[in-house]
Structure 1
Amino acid sequence: MKKNIAIIMGGYSSESGISIQSGNVVFDHLDKNKFETYRVLISKEKWVHIDENEQEYPINMADFTTTVNGYKIKFDFVFNAIHGHPGEDGTLLAYFDLIGMPHSSAPFYQMAVAFNKRDCLSLLKAYGIKSARSVYLNKGDQINIEHIVKTVGLPCFVKPNRAGSSFGVSKVYSKDEIEPALQKAYQEDKEVLIEQFLDGTEVSVGVITWKNEIKVLPVTEIVSDNDFFDYEAKYLGESKEITPARISEVQKENVTRVARKIYKSMDLRGLSRADFIFVGDEPYFIELNMVPGLSAESILPKQAKEAGISLAELFESTIRIPNA
């Protein structure tokens, strides 16, 4: 008997539209001969299953089931395609753990730490992972421009602490630009990370659980047409993403080793993507993405293709149903 797979998409953040695109790709590519697949939209307004005719059926939040034409559908597994809150930050995953629903992501605590840039950087420093100098601020904190510049230098990046797809991120060149950049970041999150600019090659490394082993995918080089790898560069074609990356063998070995160490040290599972900037031959960790973009043109699927893994195989590799 085929297992029922709920593909959750949407979410409560600025990334909801991107998440819906990712979820639809998963829906289109999971093997229909093996699985019954269901699209589930989760938003602030509603939780609904959407069938192929765009008809909506409410989700019962008590047990995460839906009823279609009088027939109750119980899901065997959840594929998490929600970028941002509440899918990528662990919130929904804690709920699924409470009701005993297996899902494609890492445990909720690991997801929460990975999504929180400050906590993730702090944790990984203990494992010897190199990163840029940074300053943390909460909304309402006194802003000491001189301290910020002395600590991180100029130019620097101002980022929301818990957001993705480069929403709310600014590259700042002067002291006068810091406060406006902070206000922009605070529109996405009440916590902000101000980070040193590192001048070097930017790369992204997918790490997945593949046949019960940690697998590091081929490295992608990011070449943005813009000032940095912002929203337009990521989603509107204003960048070049080169796989495999044009880096030396030493750089490749170093970043592969560090990416694997991060995945193992944090006890991650499922699909992930870690971003780095090289300073010489040393990779400096930028951030983790635990629900990466999943279209055929997204970075991680391109890396999987380079490794000989199809979209169907990539998505199926996350499905682990106890006693199945």
Structure 2
Amino acid sequence: MNVAVVMGGYSEESVISLRSGQLILNHIDKSKYQAYEVHILKDGWNCVIEGQKYPINKADFTVTIDQQKISFDVIVNTIHGTPGEDGHMQAYWELLELPYTGCSFYQSSLTFNKRDTLSVLSKFNIPKAKSIYISQGDVIDGAQIEAELGLPFFVKPNQSGSSLGVSMVSTLEDLPKALDFAFAEDNDILIESYLNGTEVSVGVLHFNGATKVLGITEILSQNEFFDYEAKYLGKSEEITPARISKELEALVIETAKKVYQSLGMVGFSRTDFIIMNGIPHFIEINTNPGLSPQSIFPQQAAYANIPFSDLLDNEISLALQRKLIWKR
């Protein structure tokens, strides 16, 4: 079976995605699959073999190598950010009837939009921070924001990952810089109240016919919050399993599963919560979680004692089932 392991993307997260793709290439069962490394980058779409680039034909997502046209049976999608985590590539592959791993184009688009995700989850009574939504060009009243949310608060791009463009505002003097930082990533931003509690990250997936939580990881950032530097440059301590009571662990697992199912998810995901006053508050969900050696999801797979090759087999199986549904 020819498998395209697709990585990269058009955002600053592409560097992390390329690392994630390498982990998949290292763990995929080579007795079952012929894996091809495919880079989707601003400077081109290419299949990369021993450093040599072979252009991907965008008309049918095939590649020609040594005058032989190669088609892919399934796509393993590990692009972080646009266009592989926001639904664009998923819609394209679906038009070509190419099965792909992870959630559908709709769920990808929905969960990449923080505002819309929060709106959907509010219907399912998922606890979350108070928030204000602002677009580029809106009149912004810092005093009103403080009155509604208190200080400190967070300023976030509405559509971005890896904490890019996120700032914590402790005084209103910090607000203009935080707005510029967020608007550099997206034209819409979300301003959220500060949740004072324990941060945890929960790996959830559909595995062997059921929604499964891999583990709960406690995040101890050396910085003000779990930002890009803390996530990828070693400025945090990640403890699996989290140091919480059995009762609280059960509540986090229940809430994480509820989020996953409420959003109609399929595939790998990592959901972040802040536990405040004994209640897990939803922060965000990542539908293509980082799979680099520094990432949380692979750590949780090891904790769950599930070989990563088995997780990939499961993802590919789910992708092929999706194709069967299309053909009904």
TM-score by length of 1: 0.97
Alignment length, in residue pairs? 321
Instruction: Give the Cα–Cα distance (whole angstroms) in 1 for the partners of residues 146 and 313 of structure 2.
Output: 47
- CA shift, 1:168, in A, is 0.7
Distance 2:147 2:247 in 1: 33
Is 1:258–2:264 an aligned residue pair? Answer: no
2:52 corresponds, among 55, 73, 88, to 55
- Per the alignment, residue 139 of structure 2 pairs with 142
Residue identity opposite 2:109 in structure 1: A
Deviation at 1:214, TM superposition (A): 1.0
Q: Secondary structure at the match of 2:215?
A: coil
What amino acid maps onto 2:48 in structure 1?
A: I
Which of residues 72, 89, 93 is equivalent to 2:90? 93
Q: Distance in 1 between matches of 2:31 and 2:218?
A: 36
**Does residue 117 of structure 1 match 2:114?**
yes
Confirm or deny: 8 A CA contact 2:232 2:294 kept in the other structure. Answer: no
Q: Which of 49, 70, 86 lines up with 1:73 in the alignment?
A: 70
In the alignment, what sits opposite 2:196? 199
1:111-163 per-position Cα deviation (integer Å, ceiling 9, x unaligned): 11111111001110100001000111111111111221111111011111111
Q: Indicate the residue corresponding to 1:44 in structure 2.
A: 42
Contact 2:203–2:215 (Cα < 8 Å) also in 1: yes
The answer to whether the 8 A contact 1:296-1:311 is kept is no
Distance apart, 1:303 and its partner CA: 0.8
Q: Who is 2:26 aligned against?
A: 28
The gaps in structure 1 that reach 5 residues or longer are none
**Which amino acid in structure 1 is aligned with residue 172 of structure 2?**
K
Distance 2:95 2:63 in 1: 18
Aligned partners of 1:229 and 1:5: how far apart in 2? 34
Specify which of 153, 160, 176 is matched with residue 156 of structure 1: 153
1:314 Cα deviation after fit = 2.0
What does residue 242 of structure 1 align with?
A: 239
SS at match of 2:107: helix
**Structural mapping, 1:118-133, within 5 Å:** 118-133=115-130
Task: Work out whether 1:308 is the aligned partner of 2:305.
Answer: yes
**Contact 1:294–1:300 (8 Å) recurs in 2:** yes
How big is each residue's C-alpha offset from its partner over 1:73-117, in whole Å with a ceiling of 9 and x where there is no partner?
Answer: 000000111000000111110001111011111011011111111
Task: Decide whether the 8 Å contact of 1:250 with 1:281 is kept in 2.
Answer: no
Partner SS, residue 137 of structure 2: coil
Q: What CA distance in whole angstroms lies between the structure 2 residues aligned with 1:60 and 1:277?
A: 44
Q: Would the aligned equivalents of 1:254 and 1:281 in 2 still touch at CA under 8 Å?
A: no
AA aligned opposite 2:14:
S
In structure 2, how many angstroms separate the alpha carbons of the residues matched to 1:125 and 1:43? 35
SS in 1 for 2:265: coil
**Secondary structure of the structure 2 residue equivalent to 1:319:** helix
Using the alignment, how far apart are the partners of 1:240 and 1:316 within structure 2?
A: 30
Q: 2:275 aligns with which of 266, 275, 278?
A: 278
Whether contact under 8 Å (2:60, 2:96) holds in the other structure is yes
Superposed CA offset, 1:46-81 (max 9, x none)? 111001x11010101111000000111000000111
Q: Equivalent of 2:291, from 291, 294, 315?
A: 294
* TM-score of the pair, normalised by structure 2: 0.96
Matched residue of 1:181: which SS? helix
**Mapped partners of 1:13, 1:36: distance in 2:** 28
Equivalent residue letter for 1:18: I
Identity %: 49
Task: Determine the structure 1 residue equivalent to 2:227.
Answer: 230
State the Cα distance separating 1:296 from its structure 2 match.
3.7
> Cα deviation per residue 1:27-57 (whole Å; 9 max; x = unaligned)?
1110111100001100122111001x11010
Matched residues in 2 for 1:99 and 1:136: separation?
Answer: 36
